[in-house]
């Protein structure tokens, strides 16, 4: 439908950016994005993801490194020559122009005649399912509709790359899901290489083919959503994406694939060395997600006392205090009749499988 | 009857609070204005014969009409100069760091912090026959005889533009500050160059400020008695001085009153044109 020069690749090659004050905004970022992929740049606020987006768009000239779109190094090109479409967090629709003029704006800048512009604007408004809104002003539209217009406006210039800056942050929850599905549909149809900047991990995991996790200007991990969730490479990724329990311990023995860890909570468990090799006797942090912990009946696992149980519908979350005093969350699926746990009941816990417990060298 | 407790309308405020100001306006503005109007309806200076003679005299007298026309034209010229020079300053203000912003604001406000008389005399020093401009040009050998700058329309326009500049710049700074900076980026990312972005986005969105600035500058410059008289000198006559001569020198109070009323209506007409334009552009403000 959108006959765009779509699916151009995007390479972020060793990009470093330093603020005039000397502080590092992003440091040595490498991303190799294939044509037609959806990539999420995920990280907390201040991690440098928006800076990276603005570097790709051309609003900021990076201190070092290159941006390559398709076969072209675009570093010397100003934003208006890069053919990069952007949807801003606040949509940034031109308030004094009608919806149709907004969508046609980029075409007018390219000197396309009025009749063609109007036809193209109408076609794009149909694509985003707002054909009847052409003559209205942006403020007469709801947030979700404004976002569709912003998308149509960005797609109108047939961009080779589409950048979305926190596109769903301002929408309420139900609308957000609708728009996420909508954006994914449009991306499928157009095949445009798309980069979504977000701090919302669910959004990143559900929408993206691959997720780049950033923290303090550094790339922590770049992989598929399941890689990032199930095989995190750093403690930051493990704790930022999804929720996790952090259990301190000491390495008893370790090889490349398995590590035996004595937890401070009082049990020896087998964990996966997630962040590279571990040395014997070294302190580690073992991360186990609430849904990867189970109650065990025998003497295996570590002991704890149930504090509170929160029935959250499909799951029940139990808060357990371990022997060393740290709190652990255990999430159980409600299948059939779940065993009710009394406040103060003594229980024993163990990970479902060794591969679901990730051991990272403890940071001091 | 389960009658609801009598609801109190919390939106009605006591009009009494506005009474002191209303009284002030009534005594010192409305009453003199009515007196002025009453005075203008007399055909003779003694105030014995009623009639529209003063108005007829003004509207059929080419000299009087000429003064009115040149005054309105002066306002238009000063407003245009202020807009052309003030817009870049306001634009710059929104794009520099906080330190430079303080400097710009200080420079913009400086004319307001000095007396009009002082500022006007400064212009006499600059524009005079032995003034700074003529002395510089002569010492550079660019001119042989001094240029006539003082007592010219050009001189009045330049001096008035400097005096009234804050009235243009401040509303413009406010209007430009209300434009979402993302709109600039959005326009740019859609392929528009700086000029297209300026004419299609920045200028239309700053129209409320442009109109407010123009209204203030216009109204202030056509009524600027001191600057007009001192820089314009005896050769250039504008409405405020014309009025003053009729009232003070010639003691022709009914004619002076008629001039006032006509001048007032002319200014109101121009201001209402600006206001109408402002209302039409209101759709542009805020997203």
Residues of B in contact with A153 (CB under 8 A): 186, 190
Report the length, in residues, of chain B: 287
Residue A262's CB: how many other CB atoms inside 10 A?
Answer: 14
Residues A18 and A68 occupy one common structural domain: yes
Residues A214 and A250 occupy one common structural domain: no
Q: Please indicate, yes or no, if residue A151 is contained in any of the structural domains.
A: yes
**What angle do helix axes B116-127 and B132-139 make, rounded to 10 degrees?**
20
- What integer pLDDT is reported at residue B283 of this predicted model? 53
Select from A216, A235, A254 the last residue of a domain.
A235
- What integer pLDDT is reported at residue B12 of this predicted model? 66
| pLDDT per residue as tens digits for the range A88-100 | 989 999 999 999 9
Strands A84-87 and A38-42: unpaired
Residue A135: give its domain's CATH number: 3.40.50.300
Select from A192, A216, A235 the last residue of a domain.
A235
Residues A40 and A108 occupy one common structural domain: yes
- By three-state DSSP, how is residue A296 classified? strand
Q: Work out the pLDDT band at B4, boundaries 50, 70, 90.
A: low
Q: Work out the pLDDT band at B177, boundaries 50, 70, 90.
A: very high
How many angstroms separate the CA atoms of A15 and A74, rounded? 13
Select the residue from B185, B191, B203 to test the A interface by mutation, using most A Cβ atoms within 10 A: B191
Contact A139 B287 (CB under 8 A): yes
Q: Please indicate, yes or no, if residue A137 is contained in any of the structural domains.
A: yes
Asked whether B39 and B254 are in contact (CB, 8 A), the reply is: yes
A with B: how many residue pairs have Cβ under 8 Å apart?
A: 76
Residues A202 and A268 occupy one common structural domain: no
Strands A38-42 and A210-215: parallel
Domains and CATH numbers, chain B: 55-284 (1.10.3720.10)
Nearest CA-CA distance, residue B199 and chain A, Å: 12
- What integer pLDDT is reported at residue A1 of this predicted model? 39
Residues of A in contact with B180 (CB under 8 A): 90, 92
Task: Flag whether pLDDT at A301 surpasses 90.
Answer: no
Distance from chain centroid for Cα A57: 19
Instruction: Tell me the two tokens of residue A98.
Output: 């009608």
Task: Flag whether pLDDT at A30 surpasses 90.
Answer: yes
Residues A253 and A314 occupy one common structural domain: yes
Q: Which residues partner with A303 through β-bridges?
A: A348
Contact A80 B286 (CB under 8 A): no
| pLDDT per residue as tens digits for the range B250-276 | 888 999 999 999 999 998 998 898 888
Task: Flag whether pLDDT at B26 surpasses 60.
Answer: yes
Contact B189 A79 (CB under 8 A): yes
Instruction: Tell me the two tokens of residue A104.
Output: 């046609």
Q: Which residues partner with A162 through β-bridges?
A: A85, A194
Residues A44 and A167 occupy one common structural domain: yes
| pLDDT per residue as tens digits for the range A328-338 | 999 988 776 66
**Alpha helices, DSSP H, located in chain B:** 19-25, 31-40, 53-60, 62-93, 98-113, 116-127, 132-139, 153-177, 181-189, 194-197, 203-205, 207-222, 225-232, 239-244, 253-280
CB proximity list for A130: less than 8 A, separation 6 or greater:
A99, A145, A148, A149, A152
Q: Please indicate, yes or no, if residue A2 is contained in any of the structural domains.
A: no
Q: Please indicate, yes or no, if residue A1 is contained in any of the structural domains.
A: no
Contact B185 A88 (CB under 8 A): yes
Report CA Rg, chain A.
25
As for how many domains chain A has, the answer is 2
For chain B, which residues lie within 8 Å of any Cβ of chain A, measuring from their own Cβ? 180, 182-183, 185-193, 196, 200-201, 204-205, 283-287
- Option in A78, A96, A157 nearest B190 (CB): A157
Q: Work out the pLDDT band at B282, boundaries 50, 70, 90.
A: low
Residues of A in contact with B183 (CB under 8 A): 92, 94
Q: Work out the pLDDT band at A20, boundaries 50, 70, 90.
A: confident
Task: Flag whether pLDDT at A39 surpasses 90.
Answer: yes
DSSP string, A7-24: ---EEEEEEEEE-TTS-E
Nearest CA-CA distance, residue A241 and chain B, Å: 30
Task: Flag whether pLDDT at A138 surpasses 90.
Answer: yes
Q: Please indicate, yes or no, if residue A147 is contained in any of the structural domains.
A: yes
Residue A335: give its domain's CATH number: 2.40.50.140
- By three-state DSSP, how is residue A101 classified? helix
Contact B191 A81 (CB under 8 A): yes
Residues A196 and A95 occupy one common structural domain: yes
How many angstroms separate the CA atoms of B231 and B57, rounded? 29
- Tell me the residues of chain A between 95 and 134 that have a Cβ less than 8 Å away from chain B: 95-96, 105-106, 109-110
Residues A38 and A133 occupy one common structural domain: yes
What are the angstrom distances between the C-alpha of A17 and each of A62, A75, A165?
5, 13, 19
Name the residue range of residue A272's domain.
243-361
Residues A247 and A230 occupy one common structural domain: no
Contact B191 A85 (CB under 8 A): no
Residues A80 and A185 occupy one common structural domain: yes
Residue B69's CB: how many other CB atoms inside 10 A?
Answer: 13
Residue B239's CB: how many other CB atoms inside 10 A?
Answer: 26
Task: Flag whether pLDDT at A64 surpasses 80.
Answer: yes
**What angle do helix axes B116-127 and B153-177 make, rounded to 10 degrees?**
130
What are the angstrom distances between the C-alpha of B103 and each of A131, B87, B99, B166?
50, 17, 7, 14
Contact A88 B186 (CB under 8 A): yes
Nearest CA-CA distance, residue B165 and chain A, Å: 28
- Option in A94, A110, A139 nearest B183 (CB): A94
Q: Please indicate, yes or no, if residue A4 is contained in any of the structural domains.
A: no
Residues A98 and A206 occupy one common structural domain: yes
Instruction: Tell me the two tokens of residue A165.
Output: 């800056």
Residues A175 and A262 occupy one common structural domain: no
A83 close contact with B: CB closer than 8 A: yes
Residue A313 gets which letter from DSSP?
S
- Minimum mean pLDDT among A169-173, A195-199, A218-222, B171-175: which range? A169-173
Task: Flag whether pLDDT at B247 surpasses 80.
Answer: yes
Nearest CA-CA distance, residue B8 and chain A, Å: 34
Select the residue from A78, A79, A93, A140 to test the B interface by mutation, using most B Cβ atoms within 10 A: A79
Residue A215 gets which letter from DSSP?
E
- A321's enclosing H/E stretch is strand A315-322
Residues of A in contact with B204 (CB under 8 A): 96
CB proximity list for B245: less than 8 A, separation 6 or greater:
none
Contacts 24+ apart (CB under 8 A), A96-100: A96/A137, A96/B204, A96/B205, A96/B283, A96/B284, A97/A137, A97/A138, A98/A134, A98/A135, A98/A136, A98/A137, A99/A125, A99/A130, A99/A133, A99/A134, A99/A135, A99/A136, A99/A137, A99/A138, A99/A141, A99/A149, A100/A125, A100/A134, A100/A135
A129 Ramachandran zone, left/alpha/beta (phi>0; psi -120 to 50): left
The answer to whether the Cα torsion of A204, A210, A216, A220 is positive or negative is positive
Select from A235, A262, A283 the last residue of a domain.
A235
Q: Please indicate, yes or no, if residue A142 is contained in any of the structural domains.
A: yes
- Option in A57, A110, A138 nearest B191 (CB): A110
Q: Please indicate, yes or no, if residue A5 is contained in any of the structural domains.
A: no
Strands A346-351 and A84-87: unpaired
Q: In the sheet where A302-311 sits, what is the strand order? A: A293-296, A346-351, A302-311, A315-322, A327-333
Select the residue from A81, A90, A94, A142 to test the B interface by mutation, using most B Cβ atoms within 10 A: A94
Top-confidence residue, A276 or A255: A255
- Tell me the residues of chain A between 46 and 75 that have a Cβ less than 8 Å away from chain B: 57-59
| pLDDT per residue as tens digits for the range B30-47 | 999 999 999 999 888 777
């Amino acid at each position: 439908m959108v006959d765009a020069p779509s699916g151009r690749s995007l390479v972020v090659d060793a990009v470093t950016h330093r603020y005039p004050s000397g502080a590092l905004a992003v440091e040595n970022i490498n991303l190799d994005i294939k044509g037609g992929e959806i990539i999420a740049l995920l990280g907390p606020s201040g991690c440098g993801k928006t800076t990276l987006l603005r570097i790709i768009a051309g609003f900021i000239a990076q201190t070092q490194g290159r941006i390559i779109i398709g076969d072209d190094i675009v570093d010397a090109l100003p934003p208006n020559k890069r053919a990069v479409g952007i949807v801003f967090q606040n949509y940034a629709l031109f308030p004094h122009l009608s919806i149709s003029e907004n969508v046609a704006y980029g075409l007018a800048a390219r000197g396309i005649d009025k009749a063609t512009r109007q036809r193209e604007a109408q076609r794009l408004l149909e694509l985003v399912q707002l054909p009847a809104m052409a003559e209205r002003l942006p403020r007469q539209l709801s947030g979700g509709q404004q976002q569709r217009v912003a998308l149509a406006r960005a797609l109108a210039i047939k961009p080779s790359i589409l950048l979305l800056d926190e596109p769903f942050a301002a929408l309420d929850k139900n609308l957000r899901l609708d728009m996420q599905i909508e954006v994914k549909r449009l991306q499928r149809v157009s095949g445009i290489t798309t980069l979504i900047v977000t701090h919302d991990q669910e959004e990143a995991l559900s929408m993206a083919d691959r997720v780049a996790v950033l923290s303090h200007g550094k790339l922590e991990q770049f992989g598929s959503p399941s890689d990032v969730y199930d095989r995190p490479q750093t403690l930051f990724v493990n704790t930022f994406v999804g929720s996790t329990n952090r259990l301190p311990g000491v390495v008893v023995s370790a090889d490349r694939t398995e590590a035996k860890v004595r937890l401070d909570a009082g049990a020896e468990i087998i964990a996966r060395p997630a962040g590279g090799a571990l040395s014997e006797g070294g302190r580690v942090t073992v991360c186990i997600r609430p849904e990867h912990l189970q109650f065990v009946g025998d003497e295996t696992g570590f002991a704890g006392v149930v504090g509170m149980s929160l029935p959250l519908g499909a799951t029940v979350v139990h808060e357990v205090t371990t022997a060393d005093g740290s709190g652990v969350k255990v999430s159980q699926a409600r299948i059939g009749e779940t065993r009710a746990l009394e406040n103060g009941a003594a229980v024993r816990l163990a990970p479902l499988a060794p591969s679901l417990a990730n051991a990272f060298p403890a940071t001091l | 009857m389960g009658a609801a407790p009598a609801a109190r309308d919390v939106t009605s405020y006591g009009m009494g609070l506005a009474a002191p100001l209303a009284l002030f306006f009534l005594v010192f503005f409305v009453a003199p204005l009515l007196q002025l109007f009453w005075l203008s309806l007399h055909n003779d200076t003694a105030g014995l014969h009623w009639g529209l003679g003063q108005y007829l005299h003004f509207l059929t007298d080419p000299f009087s009409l000429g003064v009115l026309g040149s005054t309105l034209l002066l306002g238009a010229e000063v407003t245009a100069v202020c807009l052309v020079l003030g817009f870049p300053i306001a634009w710059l203000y929104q794009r520099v760091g906080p330190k430079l912003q303080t400097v710009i604001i200080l420079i913009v406000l400086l004319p307001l912090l000095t007396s009009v008389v002082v500022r006007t005399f400064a212009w006499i020093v600059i524009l005079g026959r032995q003034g700074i401009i003529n002395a510089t040009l002569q010492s550079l050998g660019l001119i042989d005889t001094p240029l006539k700058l003082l007592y010219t329309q050009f001189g009045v326009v330049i001096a008035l533009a400097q005096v009234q500049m804050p009235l243009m710049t401040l509303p413009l700074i406010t209007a430009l500050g209300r434009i979402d900076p993302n709109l600039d980026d959005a326009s740019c990312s859609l392929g528009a160059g700086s000029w297209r972005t300026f004419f299609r986005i920045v200028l239309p969105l700053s129209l409320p400020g442009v109109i407010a600035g123009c209204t203030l500058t216009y109204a202030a410059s056509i009524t600027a008695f001191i600057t007009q008289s001192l820089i314009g000198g005896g050769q250039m006559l504008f409405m405020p001085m014309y009025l003053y001569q009729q009232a003070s020198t010639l003691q022709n109070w009914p004619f002076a009153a008629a001039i006032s009323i006509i001048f007032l209506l002319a200014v109101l007409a121009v201001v209402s044109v600006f206001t109408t334009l402002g209302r039409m552009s209101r759709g542009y403000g805020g997203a």
